[in-house]
Each structure stands twice: as structure tokens, then as C-alpha cells.
Structure 1
Amino acid sequence: MADPPPPRDATDDHVARWLPVLPDLDPDTEGAVTRAMLLTRHLRRTKEHSLVASGLDRHEYDTLHRLAGRGGRAAPSELAADLGLAPASVTGRLDGLESRGFVRRTPSAVDRRRVDVELTDAGRAAWRQALAAVGHEEERLLGVLSEEERAQLAALLRRVMLAAESS
């Protein structure tokens, strides 16, 4: 008795629809790219839902995330560079986060003319709550793969990203 065919997803239907129209279409390339786009869209929606549940706006989360990634303390200019924003834009973000008690500005230990921004316990908790929902979904999705398969997937995606970054 033959093995049953593997389960189909929406991308299989997409590829089947386009193959008669584009006979030179590589189904593996189209399948990989389409699945990557759909997975990205799914994770973006998960992030948006987690932000709503945690009471954070996207720009607040992004700022807290970059600050947490710097150990919870950074100069506004460092955050501006990390976020790809003008320093004045970061100042407005920090004003809002400070009024919510998520960050505090303190004099710099390095330069008296400068201030540093610190993540407060409340800011770290809000960031972690939003981060947790996305992390759980990533674990759920990649949990269908073995540890070895996840490592292989990461290595393959790294090769693809290196090609993208080299252009």
C-alpha cells in the first residue's frame, strides 16, 4: 500500500493554479517564497494582536524592544539610530513612554550634557507581555519540526539571507 500524499496547504493550491499559466514556474521556489510571505504576514498579525492585548502601540513596542536590546539603557541618539529615525522623532516617543512610566531619563554617567534613557520595571513588563505572545506562536509553529530540522531551516534561511544582503 502506498503512503498517503502529504497534506496540502493554501500555497499548494496557489502553485497549482499558476503552473498552467506560467509553465516555466519553479514550484519549489514559488512555494518557498509564498510560504515565507504568508508566514511573515501571520506573525505580523500575531504581533499586532499581542500589542492590542498589552496596550502598546507599535512604535512604543519598537522603542521598548530596541531599548531592552541595549541592556535597558541607551542614549536617545543610539535609539534613533537603531530605529532609523530622526532624533526629534525619538524624543516624542520617549515623552509618551516616560508619561506612561515605561522609561525614565537620567543624567549620563559619561557626558553631563546628555541624558540616557532607562527601561523601568513597568516598561520591561509591558514589553515582555507583548513579546511573549509572539514567542509562543513562533514556538508553536516551529515546534512541528525537530531540533535538527529547526537548525537546518535556520541554516538554509541564513544562506538565502546572505544572498539577499549581498545585493
Structure 2
Amino acid sequence: MDDSVDRHIARWRGKTPFDERVEAIVTRLQFLVRHLSRSKDTALAMVGLQDFEFETLHRLASRGEHGRATPSELSADLKLSPAGMTGRLDTLEKAGLVRRVRSEEDRRRVDVELTEEGRATWLRAMDVRGEAEEDMVGVLTTADQDVLAALLKRMLLQVEEPGPHEAPEE
């Protein structure tokens, strides 16, 4: 059974020099990433979040039971300016998804933490996203999933290794 990538390759066969195997792999990866992006957008719309709001909640949720971080830690995680982070946090605080609290270690410092509503909203988005991911990956056996995960890891390690013309990511 042909998929859209098989048809894509057939259209281009003989018209341009490319390795069909590499083209098939890369194009399928691109299509799968696009599918995941659309399913993420759908999940966020279902729970009433924008992408920037989800990403901020996601970073907080990764920080343990209380989902607490300083605005500067979040800025660094999300690669945002302090002013951009302030705007995000203002929006999320007005929506009741986060709150600013005095640090337990240093009363001069303000931390940001998830509210119960913020955690519940993040979890609903994660559930919908998880269903889409399970649907996609679920066509593979557990053994196939393990093989695919290992192969993708090898590929990712290759591109994450800085070459002579690249600076390492921080």
C-alpha cells in the first residue's frame, strides 16, 4: 500500500538527483512532525490554551510537585527575554493558571508556581496529546517501538554532535 511519500518520490523519480531511501525517511519524519504539531494545536484548543501558555505550564510542571521556578529560570528554559517572560506570566496569572509567591529560601525573591487549575489544565492538554501520540506509535509492536526509538536516538546524537562549523547548544 502506497502512502503520500511513496507518491511524492514517484513524482520526482528521474527529475532530480536524490537518494530515494533518504528522501523517504526524511519526508516521513517531516510529515509525522507536522501531524504531531497539528494534534498539539488541537489539544491546546480543546483546553483553551495557546502554545506559549502550554510551554510555560509544561516547564513549571516539570519542576516537581509544586511546579515552582523563578521567572529568570523560566526565561532561560524558554529562551525569552525577562520582559517577554513577565508578559507571559501576567497572562497566565490573570487566567488563574499560575501565581507569584515569595520564595521560601529568600523572601526578597518571587517564584512562580502552578495553581491547581493550571496543573489540571496542563494535564488535560497532555492527555489529549498523549492519545494522538499513542494512536500514531501504537501501530508498532513494543519491539518495533524499541528499535525505532534506538534508531532515532542514533540519528539525533549525530546531529546534536557539534561539527567543526557549529557551536554546541547550551
Whole-angstrom CA distance in 1 between matches of 2:43 and 2:57: 15
Q: Distance in 1 between matches of 2:132 and 2:52?
A: 21
Is 2:141 the counterpart of 1:139? no
User: Is residue 2:154 matched to residue 1:159?
Assistant: yes
Structure 2 Cα separation of the partners of residues 91 and 113 of structure 1: 17
Q: Secondary structure at the match of 2:145?
A: helix
Question: Deviations 1:51-102 (Å, cap 9, x if unpaired)?
Answer: 1111111111110011111121111111111101011211111111111111
1:3 — aligned with what? none
How far off is 1:130 after superposition? 1.3
Distance 2:80 2:106 in 1: 22
Counting only pairs closer than 5 Å after superposition, residues 63-142 of structure 1 correspond to structure 2 as: 63-71=56-64, 72-142=67-137
- Residue 37 (1) aligns with residue 30 (2): yes
1:30 partner letter: E
Residues 27-65 of structure 1 deviation map (CA, whole Å, 9 limit, x = unaligned): 111000000001111110111111111111111111001
Q: TM-score, normalised by structure 2?
A: 0.91
Q: Please say if 1:53 is aligned against 2:46.
A: yes
Computed over aligned residues only, the root mean square deviation of the Cα atoms, in angstroms, reads 1.0
Structure 1 vs Structure 2: percent identity of aligned residues?
A: 52
Alignment of 1:25 with 2:18, yes or no, is yes
Higher-RCO chain (CA-CA 8 Å, sequence separation at least 6): 1
- Which amino acid is 1:96 matched to? T
Name the structure 2 match of 1:11. Answer: 5
Q: Helix, strand or coil: the match of 1:98? A: helix
Compute the TM-score of the two structures, normalised by the length of structure 1: 0.92
**Superimposed CA distance per residue, residues 102-129 of structure 1 (whole angstroms, 9 cap, x where no aligned partner):** 1111111122221111111100111111
Secondary structure of the 1:106 match is: strand
